[in-house]
Amino acid sequence: MKEIIEEKSSLHPRNPHRFRYNFVKLINSCRELKPFVFINKYNSQTIDFANPEAVKMLNKAILKHFYDISYWDIPENYLCPPIPGRADYIHYVADLLALSNQGVVPKGQNIKVLDIGIGANCVYPIVGTSTYGWQFVGSDVDTIAVQSAKNIVEKNSSLIDKIEVRLQSNSGTIFKGIILPDEVFDVSICNPPFHASQAKATHGTQRKIKNLGGKFKAKPTQNFGGQNAELWCEGGEEKFIANMIQESVLIPDKCLWFTSLVAKKEHLPSIYRALKYAKIADFQTIDMAQGQKISRIIAWTFLSEEQRENHYELRAKII
């Protein structure tokens, strides 16, 4: 059977996941995926995306095939994210960093990224390190997630010395206690908890399962998993980003660009008000799309245009 390769034009041009999954190649990279692959009614190879084990194995195969990750695993019921969308965030952040580098995406270990909420899966640092050679610091409030991410780093030689995982011991703060006094980052990234309560998180999971063709369960096993800290916080993503902006005011020179994903467009007006109140130097809203799902990145900086143009030169002297 000849596989029809259909391009997903909505993804970033450098995203290697712009095309339909080539299950033949993925299985060759990870034989454990084979039992989960079947031919659907459209005569195409696929998996059951409502089956958490199938999704987990697909991710393992993708990370092995595209990013040469030999070991990858997550604890049961922890977030197992769709990698194409995660990769998109990294590629758009690369474009953002290029603005202060004469339009050229900066590569190598001199670029340092802070991942707020690294999660048990460690996907953002894996993509960023494997694709651009960047250094990462990842933080999380969940001790199990921190240990899982550390295990992934320690069991992949390509990640050792490139990714450091830190526990955020104070769930009421974001940057404080994570950024060291002598540290400067080129960019911070964050995929904030989306829901405002446990009830709303559960409802969202049920809706996702229904859309994927699964059956209703009183206590659903989520196709992409997720613990409380990953899925919800008081006030949801809108409040979380507002808190992040407020904290960034206290460390304006610690990061060239602060960024966060924004899932709901309705949250942008309040976020813009928070940025205006914070008296930032500049901000950008970067639209992203993955199939029917539309999201965006909000990015802000306290550095003037001249300071941004000199940022990499100054960072090189610090390093």
**CATH says 75-318 is which class?**
alpha beta
What is the rounded average pLDDT of the residues 55-59?
97
What is the rounded average pLDDT of the residues 36-51?
94
Confidence tier at 258 by pLDDT (50, 70, 90):
very high
pLDDT of 215: 53
Distance CA 56, CA 168 (A): 26
Orientation angle between helical segments 123-132 and 83-98, nearest 10 degrees: 50
Confidence tier at 212 by pLDDT (50, 70, 90):
very low
What is the rounded average pLDDT of the residues 123-140?
98
The number of residues in the chain equals 319
Token pair listed for 154: 């320690």
pLDDT of 233: 55
pLDDT at 207 over 80: no
pLDDT of 200: 43
pLDDT of 316: 64
Q: How many Cα atoms are found within 13 Å in the side-chain-facing hemisphere of 193?
A: 24
Share of the chain above pLDDT 90, in %: 75
Using DSSP's 3-state secondary structure scheme, residue 300 falls into strand
Residue reference for tokens 């409030």 = 141
pLDDT at 91 over 70: yes
Domain boundaries, the chain: 75-318
pLDDT at 155 over 50: yes
pLDDT of 79: 85
What number of H helices and E strands is found in the chain? 11, 9
